[in-house]
Structure 1
Amino acid sequence: MQASPICIPTVTNDTDWDFCFHLSQQNKIPAHSQTDELSPTCESGESEEEMAVQKKERTIDYMSPPKEKLAQSQKKVVQLIKEKMNTQANKELIRCVILSRIIFGEEHWKCAQALTNLAYGYLALRGLPAQAKKHAESAKNTLLTWKGNTASDKEKKEILGALVMLYYTLGVAWLLQNQYPFLSDGEAYFNLQKADRNMKELKELSKEGVCGLQVSEKDLTIALGRASLSIHRLNLALAYFEKAIGNVIAAKGSDTSDLVSLYEEIAQIEQLRRNHEQAIQYLKQAYSICVSSFSEVSPQTAEASALLAKAYAMSGEPQHRDAVETYFIKSISAYQATLGSEDYETLTTIEEFCRWLIKNGKKQEAYRLLKASLKYQVISYGDCSKKMAETFYNMGKMCFAKGELRKAIQLLRKCLMIQILVYGSEHSKSRETKSLLTLLQR
């Protein structure tokens, strides 16, 4: 089970920023030139009157003062996020930065605030921590300088809100990149603690409550829990997740689907603390919510069922063996019905179930499941893949254990052929399979 469901992206070039920054140079072009240059070709279903209205609107927009354009862009960002148009929203955030530079200058806190919003956008809307970190670092010094010289409480609130977002963005970005685990995890926790301190200061200043912040207290608490887990402070991580669960229950009730991921992550912490029974209880709650929220045959319920099966297996208790089989079978059936037999999640769950079956002496059942999944593995992974080699190896060993030597030799030969193609003949896996084959042939 992963502490964070977000994938680490590999993109490092900030092409959107470059593209939209060049667009800002259009401010130097006369309005009539821009209107002609950027006008779309009239489509067959569009009247001349409609085209005239659109042209007029664009001309008005180009002639608007920068402050009006900024206000329009800020409203547009909110609307695009509501419509889940994340890439367009991110480009509009870039436009806000450009306009803020024109209006306030690069060294003003409002420009730094716009950069912070852009950094958060790269993180939350696009899942690009490298870009997020770059823009957050650019904004940091300006915001910290202005915080000490604020003219009014209103200004101070806005700067504190921006600092919460900035340190949250930096913390989560470090957590996601994780190129140098010890350094990254420490930096993540350090920045998230700063976000927490600024959040507390903002709450004290805003007696009526914190409004308008994009980073909620729940988001920050969960991030702190994940960062604590990454630096192996298990008790602290547990306390943060318990707090987050309590906040969600207070706000949305005990049956909300928002609790599923939290129960799954806190179960992971309990497993690391070797409290297997408590982990099972959390995962049973997650499974129950999935069934009621998404139905028994859904990918969400299939995932919860697989996690519950693995939690029962990790306990090592003999009385839990039936539960392991029950929940693995439920998970595989739900994945097959919703995602298909060739889906990665389906095949991975079958592999995990088979490993458990082999470990518990149920080789015949494991062999049957692996054989049935072979054609789907070919569809998903290809004829010559590490997964196929592993499956042939496991099936060969099971045949060897049953005394079916001819079948075992055939399967191990297939395995060796793939391993040589994938790893090379001198790899440890290839040599191990070759040694086993030599033993059988003797």
Structure 2
Amino acid sequence: MQASPIYIPSESMDADAYQQPMPQTANTPSLENPEDSVDDSTSRESWRDNKKPRQKALYLDNDSAPEHRLSHTLQLVEELIKEKEILEANKELIRCVALTRIIYGDGHWRLAQSYANLAHGYLTLRGLPAQAAQHAESAKEILLNGLDMSKSDEEKQAILGTLVTLYYTLGAAHLIQNNGRESLHNLQKVEKILEELQTLDGGKAVVLKISEKDLALALGRASVLQNKLNSAASYFEKVIDYVIMTEGDSTPELVTIYQEMAKAEQSRSKHDRAIEHLLQAHSIAIALYNKASVEAAEAGLLLAKAYAVSGNYDDAAEMYFAESLRAYQAALGPDESETLNTLVEYSKWLVQIGRNQEAYKLMNSTCSSHLKTSGDFSETVAEVFHLMGTICLAESKMQKAYKLLKKCLEIQTAVYGSQHKKTRQTQELLNMLQKSPTTSEGNKTR
């Protein structure tokens, strides 16, 4: 994309926008009539009294003309976002919809613009994709029913900018909900609209809510969901180039992006390329934090698993498994779920390459006190007992295997329930062991 005549800010949203959506709260505004959910006379009183004078000055009394109130409310939204007053900013975006309808009517593109801004707010400020998508659809319906593009270039730019906001919001909302097809469809529309914007010359740049980085990152993730891995790798490369150019080559955001690139490369069996990306992520994590940090532990574990999957770098896999386990133990302690999960991954790999005894000793020595008390009824702890039990079973240590698997069954029953597939499989294994003369004799002697 060329830079002119479009100016796209780079801080419109952060990487967390694609994490799991926040639960909807009881005071979420109505979707059908967003303006009805704001009491103009009382909703801001307690907040208003404690804010900076410049923010208080943005308010007008209720007798002000709607045009003036809309202008001041738009300014207030920007102030509230800067101050991280997320809920208040969202309320003001709802107010903008109401004021815009009063001023322009139901079918005007300005109302669509307000709905698109509200949708983008629900997505980026609140992390609520369902609400974001519904408001974006409202904007879309207005724009597609009687949109007049025989206007000045400046107005065309504003309309196209609104289309960018609403289609990006729809694409990102579907992405959060793992709907790759709809996500990619809407995000590709954004690409085409940006190309059209380039052809207009309104005498000034168009300021968009969506950055090149935002769009390329979303397109990369949507492409992964659609198994379009070549496209995904290309988009992720664009994101990395953009971040390095604007923020440098050692920013925390690069860690996640390199890891996502590696996942895409692994999906198309390019293991060496995946390892290259994960080495970059690991190097940045070590530089930004330290070897005993959770961030370094996470990066090390992904790198270890990548080496293990490739099947060609056993020494490297072992080194990073051990490094990651030590980092988790130092940062979180031996009994935290992340530590135990790393222990399980490391042990599984040792079993996979035929080093059963080493795997057993590692689990036994690393969390022996935890396993004895075993107050933690979790999936990971159950897996530790199951793995140790199957190792003993493979070595014909029936009594020890029975004891470990019985403890595993107790935890699985508590965690999954008695009818879960894993619980039933362990129960069947125990039933088989009970029929073994060695196990039966051992139980009698106890």
Per-residue deviation, residues 294-319 of structure 1 (Å, max 9, x unmatched):
333333222221111111111111xx
Please, which moves more after superposition, 408-417 or 159-168? Answer: 408-417
Pair 375,202 (structure 1): closer, same or farther in 2 beyond 3 Å: farther
Q: In the aligned structure 2, how far is the partner of 1:331 from the partner of 1:158?
A: 50
Q: Which has the higher helix share?
A: 1
1:217 equivalent in alignment to 2:220: no
Please, which moves more after superposition, 382-391 or 322-331? Answer: 382-391
1:436 equivalent in alignment to 2:429: yes
Q: In the aligned structure 2, how far is the partner of 1:227 from the partner of 1:304?
A: 23
Per-residue deviation, residues 398-439 of structure 1 (Å, max 9, x unmatched):
223344333222111222233445555555434432333244
Matched to 1:110, the amino acid is R
1:145 Cα deviation from its structure 2 partner: 4.4
The equivalent residue for 2:410 is: 417
The equivalent residue for 2:391 is: 398
The equivalent residue for 1:6 is: 19
**Does the 8 Å contact 1:221/1:240 carry over to 2?**
yes
Per-residue deviation, residues 150-201 of structure 1 (Å, max 9, x unmatched):
42111111111111111111111112213xxxxx322111111111111111
**Does the 8 Å contact 1:24/1:98 carry over to 2?**
no
Matched to 1:166, the amino acid is L
Matched to 1:312, the amino acid is Y
Matches within 5 A, 1:34-45: 34=41
Q: In the aligned structure 2, how far is the partner of 1:163 from the partner of 1:67?
A: 23
The equivalent residue for 1:265 is: 260
Aligned residues: 415
Unpaired stretches in structure 2, ≥5 consecutive residues = 1-15, 437-446
1:215 Cα deviation from its structure 2 partner: 0.5
**Does the 8 Å contact 2:329/2:339 carry over to 1?**
yes
Alignment equivalent of 2:221, drawn from 226, 229, 233: 226
**Does the 8 Å contact 1:112/1:142 carry over to 2?**
yes
Per-residue deviation, residues 374-403 of structure 1 (Å, max 9, x unmatched):
766999x96444433332221211223344
The equivalent residue for 2:171 is: 171
Matched to 1:175, the amino acid is L
Q: In the aligned structure 2, how far is the partner of 1:169 from the partner of 1:235?
A: 24
The equivalent residue for 2:353 is: 360
1:264 Cα deviation from its structure 2 partner: 1.1
1:200 equivalent in alignment to 2:195: yes
The equivalent residue for 1:244 is: 239
The equivalent residue for 1:16 is: 29
Pair 132,58 (structure 1): closer, same or farther in 2 beyond 3 Å: closer
Please, which moves more after superposition, 220-229 or 111-120? Answer: 220-229
1:255 Cα deviation from its structure 2 partner: 3.0
Pair 408,189 (structure 1): closer, same or farther in 2 beyond 3 Å: same
The equivalent residue for 2:12 is: none
Pair 344,415 (structure 1): closer, same or farther in 2 beyond 3 Å: closer
Q: In the aligned structure 2, how far is the partner of 1:59 from the partner of 1:186?
A: 43
Please, which moves more after superposition, 79-88 or 116-125? Answer: 79-88
**Does the 8 Å contact 1:12/1:131 carry over to 2?**
no
1:86 Cα deviation from its structure 2 partner: 2.5
**Does the 8 Å contact 2:18/2:176 carry over to 1?**
no
1:119 Cα deviation from its structure 2 partner: 0.6
Per-residue deviation, residues 260-314 of structure 1 (Å, max 9, x unmatched):
2221111111111111111111111111122222333333222221111111111
**Does the 8 Å contact 1:259/1:286 carry over to 2?**
yes
3-state SS in 1 of match to 2:288: helix
1:87 Cα deviation from its structure 2 partner: 2.7
The equivalent residue for 2:96 is: 96
Please, which moves more after superposition, 398-407 or 116-125? Answer: 398-407
Per-residue deviation, residues 222-272 of structure 1 (Å, max 9, x unmatched):
111111221111112222222222222333333333322221111111111
Unpaired stretches in structure 1, ≥5 consecutive residues = 27-33, 179-183
Matched to 2:28, the amino acid is T
Pair 216,376 (structure 1): closer, same or farther in 2 beyond 3 Å: farther
The equivalent residue for 1:181 is: none
3-state SS in 2 of match to 1:16: coil
**Does the 8 Å contact 2:180/2:225 carry over to 1?**
yes
1:316 equivalent in alignment to 2:306: no
The equivalent residue for 1:31 is: none
Per-residue deviation, residues 102-131 of structure 1 (Å, max 9, x unmatched):
222222111111110111111111111111
Aligned-residue identity in percent: 46
Q: In the aligned structure 1, how far is the partner of 2:172 from the partner of 2:181?
A: 11
1:280 equivalent in alignment to 2:294: no
Q: In the aligned structure 2, how far is the partner of 1:226 from the partner of 1:94?
A: 30
1:148 Cα deviation from its structure 2 partner: 3.4
**Does the 8 Å contact 1:17/1:91 carry over to 2?**
no
1:325 equivalent in alignment to 2:338: no
1:101 Cα deviation from its structure 2 partner: 1.8
**Does the 8 Å contact 2:217/2:235 carry over to 1?**
yes
**Does the 8 Å contact 2:360/2:391 carry over to 1?**
yes
The equivalent residue for 1:107 is: 107
Q: In the aligned structure 2, how far is the partner of 1:392 from the partner of 1:323?
A: 27
Matched to 2:157, the amino acid is K
1:323 Cα deviation from its structure 2 partner: 1.3
The equivalent residue for 1:30 is: none
Q: In the aligned structure 2, how far is the partner of 1:373 from the partner of 1:16?
A: 48
Q: Cα RMSD between the aligned structures?
A: 3.5
Matched to 1:125, the amino acid is L
Q: In the aligned structure 1, how far is the partner of 2:44 from the partner of 2:222?
A: 47
Q: In the aligned structure 1, how far is the partner of 2:26 from the partner of 2:201?
A: 39
Report the TM-score when normalising by structure 2: 0.82
Q: In the aligned structure 2, how far is the partner of 1:344 from the partner of 1:403?
A: 30
1:338 equivalent in alignment to 2:352: no
The equivalent residue for 1:158 is: 158
Report the TM-score when normalising by structure 1: 0.82
Please, which moves more after superposition, 401-410 or 11-20? Answer: 11-20
**Does the 8 Å contact 2:58/2:75 carry over to 1?**
no
**Does the 8 Å contact 2:344/2:383 carry over to 1?**
no
1:142 equivalent in alignment to 2:155: no
